Structures are given as C-alpha cells and as structure tokens.
Amino acid sequence: MGQVPGIHSAVDASHATPALAERLVRYFRCKSAQDLEGTMALFAQRPCTYIDATLGWDLGSWAEIHAFFAQYMPGWPAHSASYPVRILGDLRSAVVFFTDTAGLFGPSELRLAGAVDMRSGLITRQVDYWDGRHFGVDNLASLQVPVDQFPTDFGETTVRGSTSAVMRGVVHDLADALHRGDGTAAARLFAPGAVFEDAPAHIRIEGPRSIGDYLTATAELLPYVGMGAGVRHVLGNELGGGYEFTSASGPVPRGIIGLELDRWRQISRLTAVWDGSLVDDAVLLSLAEKAIER
C-alpha cells in the first residue's frame, strides 16, 4: 500500500477493501500536495458535508469545502502532510485514522479519526474526531467555535444504508452492553487476543476479561459507557469500521469508536477517540487508575 510522499510509515489497510484503501490514499496524497482541485474531485457535489466535531467547524456543501481548502492550503508549510495511518471499511463507509502534521491547522500536529461516507467512490460526508489535549488546550481555544454554535445535525441522515449488516449487528450488541454498563456482556464480543484502546486516556488493555472488567469499572467515566450513551451512525463492513457515539450525560457529547473484526465477527481491536479537553485531569487520572489490575 502506497503512502503520502515523505511519510515513511506504512498504512495499515488490513481491515479495509483494496478499493477503499486506494481511494483514501489518493485523497490524502492530493491533500498533502496542496492539490485543491484534485482533492475536491474526490468529494461528491451533493450531498456533501465536512464537520470537525472537536472545533465545531461545519461545512455543509461542496462549495464551502472548496472555499475552506482554498483558504488554508496556500499557507501550509513546505513538507507538511496529511496522511493515513489505519483504514477500516469499504467504499460505502469507513473509519480512517490519520495525522495532520504541525502547521496545517494550528501549531501542533493533529491525530484524528474520521467517519467517512461515500457514494460511487466519492466522499459525501466526513466528520473528524480528535483529542484537544493532544493538540494543546490553548491552541484548541483559539480555533474552536462557541459551544452554542456547534452543529446539532452531523449529516448522518443523508447517508443511511451505507453500512453492512455484519457491522450493524456488532455495533448494536456492543452499544447495548455499554449502555447498560455491562462489561461482562461486552467482553463476550471480543476475540481472545483483542486489544482495547482509549486515545485520550492513553489506555491499552488486552484480552476480553480485562477489557470487560475495565468497562464495568469505568461505566460512570467513559462517555461511550452508561445510560446516556447512544449511537449516532454506524460505518464499515465485515472487516472493520465502527460507530460515532453520542452521550446525553456528562461533559463529552460525542466521539467515535473504531472496530476491527476477525473472521468470526468478533472484535479484535477497539479504538475510542473523543475530546479529552472536555474533562478535567482528575477524570483522566481515574481512568488510568482503574486500568491497574490487581
């Protein structure tokens, strides 16, 4: 699998179809080359939505997205890049983990997880999620729109039916277990060698039993666990994808979970991304403490 020029790390497309991987690598190559028209040729004319779920930036049409990149691309530093790290799903919908190097959108790098919906190979919807703490809280404040100006519609109603039945079933069972705070039920959905990752908490846990214990212990802390947690939109296929989550309780209203599935449709890897700047240090310390096994 090719990569953006100048980036020497490989793209992990083991849980994506070759057609999706080729299309998204092409997208990031055009973006990194500051090829405005090449980038925009990969977006559908309509529907077309691009939202930054951490900053609250809401671009609701092809023309708005074109104007946005036309404004920012000329100021990008030489040798800067936006490059994919891991791609999950197919040409209908996907989750892509990617990095924007420093200088593209502020003085620090961004490590993002994008929800991507496509039709006929063109992007109809992209919503990016990332941790504001990694970017820097002061940097975040300079770019973020006021909370009351955040979008209330994330464009998911324009892209219904873009996910496989396999992924919908896995997400239904997982989200139901997490909603109930039932780590034991959630653990049954994970493969024997499964890995659980929470990006803002800097947590990595291996094995279903330990994952289940952690999810039970953190039911009142993690934004995607507990009675307030819900599903906004499911993405991907029988290889991988995930879902955008919502939370009606607590300080973190939204985020995304990437899922890799094995051949038996069990979860082999879960990666959660949300904005850690919305919780105080004590919450993150508690999340870390509860990962200690005794």
Domain locations along the chain: 12-158, 165-289
pLDDT at 1 over 90: no
Mean pLDDT is lowest, of 15-24, 142-151, 184-193, for 142-151
| pLDDT tens digit sequence for 221-266 | 999 999 999 999 999 999 999 999 999 999 999 999 999 999 999 9
Report pLDDT for 159.
87
pLDDT at 207 over 80: yes
The domains spanning 12-158 and 165-289 adopt the same CATH topology: yes
Is there a contact between 208 and 187 (Cβ–Cβ < 8 Å)?
yes
Average pLDDT over residues 20-33: 98
pLDDT at 288 over 90: yes
144-149 long-range contacts, Cβ below 8 Å, gap at least 24?
A: 144/54, 144/55, 144/56, 145/55, 145/56, 145/57, 146/56, 147/56, 149/56
Q: Which amino acid is at 211?
A: I
Mean pLDDT is lowest, of 119-133, 156-170, 268-282, for 156-170
pLDDT at 294 over 90: no
Q: Which two tokens stand for residue 71?
A: 């404004």
Report pLDDT for 20.
98
CB atoms within 10 A of CB 192: 11
Average pLDDT over residues 199-215: 98
Is there a contact between 266 and 125 (Cβ–Cβ < 8 Å)?
no
Which band of pLDDT confidence, cut at 50, 70 and 90, is reported for residue 56?
A: very high
CA-CA-CA-CA torsion sign (58, 60, 65, 71): negative
φ, ψ at 228 (rounded to 5°) = -85, -10
Report pLDDT for 158.
86
Q: What is the CATH number of domain 12-158?
A: 3.10.450.50
Q: Which two tokens stand for residue 94?
A: 């996907």
Report pLDDT for 2.
84
Alpha helices in 8-122 (DSSP H): 18-32, 36-40, 62-72
d(CA 243, CA 256): 6
- What does the CA dihedral 183, 186, 192, 193 come to, rounded to 10 degrees? -80
Place of tokens 């790098």: 109
Report pLDDT for 112.
99
pLDDT at 162 over 80: no
pTM of the model: 0.97
Report pLDDT for 172.
98
CB atoms within 10 A of CB 161: 6
CATH topology of domain 165-289: Nuclear Transport Factor 2; Chain: A, (3.10.450)
Place of tokens 């049954």: 188
pLDDT at 160 over 80: no
Report pLDDT for 161.
73
Spell out the residues 6+ positions from residue 294 whose beta carbon is closer than 8 angstroms to its own: none
Mean pLDDT is lowest, of 59-63, 150-154, 205-209, for 150-154
d(CA 134, CA 200): 8
Report pLDDT for 266.
99
Q: Which two tokens stand for residue 106?
A: 């502020």
Cis geometry, peptide bond prior to residue 251 (ω within 30 degrees of 0): no
